[in-house]
Amino acid sequence: MKTVKKVLVSILAAVVLLAGSIGGALSANAEAKAYDQKLLIDNADKTDGWFGTTVTVKTENPAVEGSAYLQAATVDDLGSAVLARTFDPPLDLAKYSSEGYLHIWVYVPDNAALGAGCIELSSSGTPDGAYIWNLKDYVTDTGWNELYLPVAGAAKGTADFSKINYFRMYAAAQTGLGLDDMYMCLEAEPNTNPSDSSPSETDPSGTDAKPTLPTNITYGSKLNIDTGDKTDGWFGTEVSVKTENPAVKGGSYLQASGVDDLGSAVLARTFDPSLNLSKYSKEGYLHLWIYIPDKETLDAGCVELASSGTPDGAYKWNLKDYVTQAGWNELYLPVAQAIQGTADFSKINYFRIYAAGQEGLGVDDIYMCLAETGKVPDTGISTPVFVWLLLMAAGTAVVFLALSRGLSRRFERR
């Protein structure tokens, strides 16, 4: 009996330690943090201020944020692709100088061939005194990589973060190096309300553009629909581009400054060619920022997606089910919870928002996405399930084997 008890105690200890080792691996590999207080540096939709090795705007591949990204189409005499720019006036990033993160999407054509490469921020107008991040420490994949570069983890130079005026990224043997969606941010407070789901953003003047809403779900596999920066394709009730208030993404957003005969503000557009959103037709989300002038008077109002070129057969979301406040609201509208129409998600060609009594209705940053939550990068299985499977499938010996492997991996990653 004592022997049995010893075995059971050993198994229990193995399970606890194994869970700890898996948890350590998860914390080392998974992006479990939320970020807020964003300050846009450059959305990389145009080449103004940029220089390097044949810097061009690219609209295919597709762009990660907005309608475009920047690419270094050639390499210099040292074989490096270079994307650089200066800022006049300089940027005051002092708020992010100790605990901040530089966020950037980086496109790497061939991760296996990635040699020398860095990202730099300085206040000298040149690389002199720059804070430097080694790309190889952060880039993991060929193609797009979303990076959160901790200022505390940079090779520290003498740069004054209240006067940042220079940015550069270079990478050896990476013709076609790309970047998109560059901003500073802070790590958000732990989420205390599971219904909240978005970071906040701050414009360079320091004015809060949106409420601070913690993030407990991360979203990926984004497909841009419209950045809300121009009226091409849009119609409704006096649709115009607005640059104050400020815009949520880029430098502007779209506003319906009038109402129709029924008293509703309307923002609508068609797509030719149509959009293939079939990837998002079951578990996808329609993301958009929506500006509501007066939440208290919000009555009838919907967001619609259709393939008929009109509202006929549209999937619909009732605004009152999602909008929580006057001003900007970031919405992730689940396709599964829409009022189901007959729309063919492989041929979406119509979008509309309307809201009764909301003269000044605004929209920005519309895209489709998928939720990415609760995955362990190495296995895709949550820690408790993984432990249970080990116990059920293999017994005590396998548990101890997994324990030894887990501990060795844990120490390897330190």
Q: Which of 61-65, 213-217, 224-228, 378-382 has the highest mean pLDDT?
A: 224-228
Q: Do domains 35-187 and 210-370 have the same CATH topology?
A: yes
Instruction: Pick one of 3.30.70.20, 3.40.50.620, 3.40.50.1100, 2.60.120.430 as the CATH number of 35-187.
Output: 2.60.120.430
Domain boundaries, the chain: 35-187, 210-370, 384-414
> How far apart (Å, rounded) are the C-alpha atoms in residues 240 and 220?
30
Instruction: Lowest mean pLDDT of 112-126, 246-260, 281-295, 316-330, name the range.
Output: 246-260
Instruction: Lowest mean pLDDT of 88-97, 239-248, 299-308, name the range.
Output: 239-248
Backbone φ and ψ for 68, nearest 5 degrees, come out as -160, 170
Look at residue 4 and tell me whether its pLDDT is greater than 80.
no
Look at residue 340 and tell me whether its pLDDT is greater than 80.
yes
Backbone φ and ψ for 270, nearest 5 degrees, come out as -115, 160
Amino acid at residue number 142: T
The reply to whether CATH 3.40.190.10 applies to domain 210-370 is no
Written as six digits, the tokens of 143 are: 């193609």
Measuring CA to CA, how many Å separate 376 from each of 106, 386, 413?
23, 10, 15
Written as six digits, the tokens of 324 are: 């929580």
Write out pLDDT tens, residues 186-216.
Answer: 887 654 333 333 333 333 333 333 333 334 5
> How far apart (Å, rounded) are the C-alpha atoms in residues 316 and 301?
10
